């Protein structure tokens, strides 16, 4: 035996770091110095960079088309110079069934907007995963795209529905976001495509460790005009040209970015098939193609899409107009579902070539195996989660800290929240739980003050991306019955929000439908108040998930791969009313709320368009009757029945959040995917 190999020590200093920042002296010197990075300690950054260039660290690169990082609600950096007004929270309008009198009320929030580079749950999950990687002190780098015009800004026009607008923002004055000198170039059939690298650091909750996210940006003067626009809008889908380029930027540009920074990558984690071109970039540059097997071992893939129709497919002829021939022939080898096909399928490519694959919930794993029987053995599942510190409200944070004898170091280990069950019979504690919730509810009402919502009225919320399978209009399908219930059981406050993809005409039609039904409720505002908020985003995501009494989730099974908004709600003691799909399948035995509606069984996936609306609308109302009865028995105009089973359910919700968090999820990624 020889002497143990001496570890190669890598150095990484502040001047190494500052040397990479574009316009450091002119723009960033006021916020970045040897001690501080936009108000946070800089040492975690130097440590993270040092680890990423070291071969000893087994670092992971996590690719995602979108990242919902939500700095307005968590780990907000400071900026010494003035921030562009474009980065400030804009006015949100709210529609309601008493809009005529209250039309002039708008929501004004004095905050910055969140970096608008996400569309919905997939991006929020990616952001939450990065934050848990930082909390766990792992050497992980995120790869994404700097969407210069965001996803889109949503306006509702009365009688016109959703009107999408461009979302302008200013990356140069966004706190914590820095452009690097590094530029990488993709050689395409239409000429060189240059990409600037940006960085954003995600810090741990205690600010002791950090993970970078690299964002690629084509908005450079040296690019042709069409190329400059490639990174404007997330999920621009007018035609295959946009889609192929956006995926090439993420996958191929991402690999080049990692190399340009000298990062030593042990595992490439593709969050959804969008990033599958990363595999091509690595393969094309292999000197000895016999090493392909070893290369593919480094790739792992998380699939978020439940149905085959949702997967990216491109004609080889379209790809050949964009990518160089060596990439196209590699695609022919790796990306075709059938040898005779003239299309590539990115889901298939990732499934077939990545060493490990995970679905995002148990039920989703089942559904994936039905759809891809050839990969039966390979497809495992790791249930999604949410980042505890981002989504936990202040009132419950205080409550857990107050009882730290029970919860211990719950901040480092959110799994400790399961200990709440030992307090479940303690009357004083039960009162505190209900009061913490009421505090959140009052905060919602004060932000929506124009609408005069009341804290002792039953409040239910549906808010998420507007997509057909999520059935956004289900609760308003039977308006007459809703009115009857409100008269007989007690008043209802319904809060709704969500964006439909700008090219999704069906989605826009759902919004029209909601607006019309709100109109139908005009005469009943004394018993039902409906408010529909513009521009659902992470700020409202947090506000709503922690403040309403019941979180409504009614996708048509089995089309919701996981869903995560309900996990944000249970963390804050907000009860679930849900169909049995996605993550909820793993919690149906728990006392976290009520389950209703069509249930999926067997191997036939069914059609997304077959929505079971009539029977499920009835099931929803039947369930809601019981929910409202129990609510008004629990909260009788401010007189709280502390022994109510409602409070048992609140406590059980929090108990379950000990599992449905990204810390647990990332630990599973680590042990099952990255090892
Ligand atoms: C959490 C979150 C989602 C995901 O919601 P689902 O109900 O899981 O689809 C979407 N958008 C925003 C802004 C969120 O915060």
Interval 328-371: pLDDT, tens:
999 999 999 899 999 999 999 999 999 999 999 999 999 999 98
Three-class DSSP category at 202: strand
> Has residue 189 got a pLDDT over 70?
yes
Query: Is 273's C-beta closer than 6 angstroms to any atom of ligand 1?
Result: no
φ/ψ of residue 91, rounded to 5: -70, 135
373 C-alpha to ligand 1 centroid (Å):
30
Q: Which residues pair with 640 in a beta bridge?
A: 635
Ligand 1 atom showing the smallest separation from residue 568 Cα: 1
Name the residue with the closest Cα to ligand 1, atom 7. Answer: 565
pLDDT tens profile 418-429: 999 999 999 999
> Has residue 473 got a pLDDT over 70?
yes
Query: Is 490's C-beta closer than 6 angstroms to any atom of ligand 1?
Result: no
Tell me if 14-76+112-384+667-674 shares its fold with 400-599+611-659.
yes
pTM score over 0.85:
yes
**Cα–Cα distances in Å, from 28 out to 201, 220, 269, 456?**
15, 20, 32, 49
Ligand 1 atom showing the smallest separation from residue 562 Cα: 8
Is the CB of residue 663 less than 8 Å from the CB of residue 388? yes
Tell me how far apart the alpha carbons of residues 624 and 641 are, in angstroms, rounded to a whole number. Answer: 20
Comparing C-alpha atoms, which of 105, 20, 51 is closest to residue 531? 105
Name the residue with the closest Cα to ligand 1, atom 5. Answer: 565
Comparing C-alpha atoms, which of 271, 268, 126, 101 is closest to residue 200? 126
pLDDT at 1: 44
For residue 194, what are its two tokens?
Answer: 């240059």
Three-class DSSP category at 258: helix
pLDDT at 103: 55
Average pLDDT over residues 623-629: 98
Band (94; pLDDT cuts 50, 70, 90): confident
Query: Is 124's C-beta closer than 6 angstroms to any atom of ligand 1?
Result: yes
Three-class DSSP category at 531: strand
Number of Cβ within 10 Å of residue 641's Cβ equals 15
Band (477; pLDDT cuts 50, 70, 90): very high
Comparing C-alpha atoms, which of 81, 68, 71, 77 is closest to residue 41? 77
Token pair 């509702």: residue: 156
Three-class DSSP category at 225: helix
Ligand 1 atom showing the smallest separation from residue 537 Cα: 13
Pocket test for ligand 1, best of 120, 360, 390 (most atoms within 8 A of CB): 120
67 C-alpha to ligand 1 centroid (Å):
12
Tell me how far apart the alpha carbons of residues 518 and 529 are, in angstroms, rounded to a whole number. Answer: 9
> Has residue 99 got a pLDDT over 80?
no
User: Crossing angle for the helix pair 346-353 and 325-334, nearest 10 degrees?
Assistant: 70
Tell me how far apart the alpha carbons of residues 71 and 360 are, in angstroms, rounded to a whole number. Answer: 25
pLDDT at 5: 58
223 C-alpha to ligand 1 centroid (Å):
35
Q: Which residue has the higher pLDDT, 95 or 276?
A: 276
φ/ψ of residue 245, rounded to 5: -60, -45
Query: Is 150's C-beta closer than 6 angstroms to any atom of ligand 1?
Result: no
φ/ψ of residue 231, rounded to 5: -100, 30
Band (90; pLDDT cuts 50, 70, 90): confident
Query: Is 578's C-beta closer than 6 angstroms to any atom of ligand 1?
Result: no
Band (3; pLDDT cuts 50, 70, 90): low
Token pair 């929505």: residue: 611
pLDDT tens profile 291-304: 999 999 999 999 99
Please list the alpha-helical segments (H only) found in 93-198.
99-102, 121-135
Average pLDDT over residues 523-536: 92
190 C-alpha to ligand 1 centroid (Å):
37
Is the CB of residue 331 less than 8 Å from the CB of residue 344? yes
Q: Which residues are CB-contacts of 496 (< 8 A; sequence separation ≥ 6)?
A: 461, 462, 463, 472, 514, 530, 531, 532, 533
Tell me how far apart the alpha carbons of residues 510 and 220 are, in angstroms, rounded to a whole number. Answer: 38
> Has residue 104 got a pLDDT over 70?
no
Name the residue with the closest Cα to ligand 1, atom 4. Answer: 121
For residue 246, what are its two tokens?
Answer: 């956006």
Ligand 1 atom showing the smallest separation from residue 70 Cα: 15
119 C-alpha to ligand 1 centroid (Å):
9
Ligand 1 atom showing the smallest separation from residue 540 Cα: 13
536 C-alpha to ligand 1 centroid (Å):
9
Is the CB of residue 273 less than 8 Å from the CB of residue 346? yes
Band (96; pLDDT cuts 50, 70, 90): confident
For residue 473, what are its two tokens?
Answer: 């209009």
599 C-alpha to ligand 1 centroid (Å):
22
Comparing C-alpha atoms, which of 360, 411, 351, 317 is closest to residue 581? 360
Q: Regarding the domain with residue range 400-599+611-659, which homologous superfamily does it belong to in the CATH classification?
A: Glycogen Phosphorylase B; (3.40.50.2000)
pLDDT at 409: 96
Is the CB of residue 383 less than 8 Å from the CB of residue 361? yes
Token pair 């419950």: residue: 396
pLDDT tens profile 303-328: 998 777 678 899 999 999 999 999 99
pLDDT at 100: 53
Q: To the nearest whole number, what is the mean pLDDT of the chain? A: 94
**What's the gap between Cα 627 and its chain centre?**
29
Query: Is 121's C-beta closer than 6 angstroms to any atom of ligand 1?
Result: yes
pLDDT tens profile 557-586: 999 999 999 999 999 999 999 999 999 999
Band (105; pLDDT cuts 50, 70, 90): low
Say which DSSP state 88 is in.
Answer: B
Query: Is 565's C-beta closer than 6 angstroms to any atom of ligand 1?
Result: yes
Q: Where are the domains of the chain?
A: 14-76+112-384+667-674, 400-599+611-659
Instruction: Please tell me whether the peptide bond between 558 and the residue prior to it is cis, using omega within 30 degrees of 0.
Output: yes
Query: Is 464's C-beta closer than 6 angstroms to any atom of ligand 1?
Result: yes
Asked: is 14-76+112-384+667-674 a CATH 3.90.1010.10 domain? The reply is: no
Q: Which residues are CB-contacts of 514 (< 8 A; sequence separation ≥ 6)?
A: 472, 473, 476, 496, 532
Tell me how far apart the alpha carbons of residues 370 and 349 are, in angstroms, rounded to a whole number. Answer: 18
> Has residue 158 got a pLDDT over 80?
no
Pocket test for ligand 1, best of 116, 124, 462 (most atoms within 8 A of CB): 124
pLDDT at 476: 98
Q: Which of 28-42, 89-103, 229-243 has the highest mean pLDDT?
A: 28-42
> Has residue 101 got a pLDDT over 60?
no
Tell me how far apart the alpha carbons of residues 528 and 484 are, in angstroms, rounded to a whole number. Answer: 10
464 C-alpha to ligand 1 centroid (Å):
5
Share of the chain above pLDDT 70, in %: 97
């Amino acid at each position: 035996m020889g002497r143990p190999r001496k570890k190669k020590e890598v150095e990484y200093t502040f001047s190494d770091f500052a040397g990479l920042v574009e316009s450091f002296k002119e723009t960033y010197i006021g916020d970045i110095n040897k001690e501080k990075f936009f108000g946070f300690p800089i040492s975690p950054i130097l440590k993270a960079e040092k680890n990423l260039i070291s071969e000893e660290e087994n670092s992971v690169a996590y690719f995602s088309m979108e990242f919902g990082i939500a700095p307005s609600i968590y780990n907000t950096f400071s900026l010494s110079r003035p921030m562009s007004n474009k980065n400030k929270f804009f006015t949100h309008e709210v529609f309601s069934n008493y809009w005529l009198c209250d039309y002039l009320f708008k929501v004004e929030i004095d905050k910055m907007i969140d970096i608008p580079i996400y569309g919905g749950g997939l991006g929020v999950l990616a952001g939450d995963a990065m934050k848990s990687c930082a909390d766990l002190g792992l050497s992980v780098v995120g790869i994404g795209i700097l969407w210069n015009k965001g996803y889109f800004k949503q306006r509702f026009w009365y009688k016109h529905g959703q009107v999408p607008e461009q979302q302008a923002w200013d990356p140069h004055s966004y706190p914590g976001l820095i452009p690097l000198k590094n530029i990488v170039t993709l050689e395409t059939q239409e000429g060189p495509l240059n990409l600037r690298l940006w960085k954003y650091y995600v810090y741990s909750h205690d600010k002791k460790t950090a993970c970078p996210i690299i964002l690629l940006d084509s908005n450079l003067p040296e690019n042709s005009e069409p190329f400059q626009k490639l990174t404007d809008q997330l999920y621009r889908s007018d035609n295959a040209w946009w889609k192929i380029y956006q995926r090439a930027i993420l996958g191929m540009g991402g690999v080049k970015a990692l190399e340009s920074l000298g990062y030593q990558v042990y595992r490439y984690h593709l969050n959804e098939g969008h990033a599958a071109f990363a595999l091509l970039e690595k393969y094309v540059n292999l000197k000895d193609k016999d090493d392909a097997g070893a290369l593919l071992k480094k790739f792992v893939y998380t699939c978020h899409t439940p149905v085959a129709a949702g997967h990216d497919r491109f004609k080889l002829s379209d790809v050949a107009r964009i990518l160089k021939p060596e990439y196209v022939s590699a695609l022919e080898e790796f990306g075709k579902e059938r040898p005779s096909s003239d299309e590539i399928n990115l889901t298939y490519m990732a499934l077939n070539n990545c060493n490990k694959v995970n679905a995002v919930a148990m039920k989703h794993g089942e559904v994936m195996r039905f759809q891809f029987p050839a990969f039966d053995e390979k497809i495992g599942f790791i249930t999604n989660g949410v980042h505890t510190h981002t989504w936990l409200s202040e009132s419950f944070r205080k409550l857990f800290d107050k009882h730290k004898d029970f919860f211990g170091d719950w901040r480092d280990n959110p799994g400790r929240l399961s200990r709440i069950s030992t307090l479940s019979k303690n009357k004083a504690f039960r009162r505190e739980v209900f009061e913490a919730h009421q505090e959140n509810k009052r905060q919602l009402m004060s932000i929506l003050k124009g609408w005069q919502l009341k804290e002792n009225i039953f409040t239910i919320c549906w808010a998420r991306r507007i997509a057909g399978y999520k059935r956004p209009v289900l609760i308003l399908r039977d308006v007459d019955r809703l009115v009857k219930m409100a008269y007989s059981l007690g008043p209802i406050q319904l809060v709704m929000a969500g964006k439909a993809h700008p090219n999704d005409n069906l989605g826009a039609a759902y919004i029209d439908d909601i607006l019309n039904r709100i109109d139908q409720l005009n005469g009943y505002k004394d018993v039902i108040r409906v408010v529909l908020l513009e521009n659902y985003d992470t700020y409202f995501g947090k506000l709503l998930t922690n403040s309403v009494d019941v979180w409504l989730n009614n996708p048509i099974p089995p089309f919701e791969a996981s869903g995560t908004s309900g996990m944000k709600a249970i963390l804050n003691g907000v009860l679930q009313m849900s169909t049995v799909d996605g993550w909820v399948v793993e919690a149906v035995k728990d006392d976290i709320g009520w389950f209703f509606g069509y249930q999926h069984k067997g191997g036939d996936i069914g059609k997304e368009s077959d929505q079971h609306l009539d029977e499920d609308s009835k099931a929803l109302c039947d369930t809601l009757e019981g929910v409202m009865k129990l609510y008004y028995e629990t909260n009788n105009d401010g007189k709280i029945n502390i022994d109510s089973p409602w409070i048992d359910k609140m406590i059980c919700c929090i108990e379950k959040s000990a599992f449905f968090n990204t810390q647990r999820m990332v630990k599973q990624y680590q042990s099952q995917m990255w090892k």
